[in-house]
Amino acid sequence: RRHRPDHANTTILLFGLLLLPLCLGGDPPQQGAKPMRKLRILCLHGYTQSAQNFARRTGALRKACKTVADFDYVDAPHIADAEWLENKLNERVVKRLDEPTLAWWNMEDRSSRPSMSRHYRGATESLKILEEHVESNGPYDGILGFSQGASAAALLCAKLKQSKRQPSFRFALFFSGFVPRDPEIVEIIKCCESEAADGKGLGSISSLHVWGEKDALISEDKSRELVGLFGQNAVTHRFRGGHLVPSGSDFRKMFREYLEKRRSEILERQEP
Residues 6+ apart with CB under 8 A from 204: 168, 233
- For 20, 105, 167, 169, 185, the CA distances from 120, given in Å and listed in that order, are 55, 6, 27, 25, 8
Which residues are the active-site residues?
A: 147, 215, 243
CA dist., res. 36 & res. 109, Å (int): 48
SS3 212: strand
φ and ψ at residue 8, rounded to 5 degrees = -65, -45
CA dist., res. 126 & res. 269, Å (int): 32
- For 12, 122, 142, 179, 216, the CA distances from 220, given in Å and listed in that order, are 56, 26, 23, 12, 10
**Ordered strands of the 69-74 beta sheet:** 69-74, 39-44, 142-146, 171-175, 206-212, 234-239
- For 61, 129, 169, 237, 257, the CA distances from 250, given in Å and listed in that order, are 11, 35, 26, 12, 11
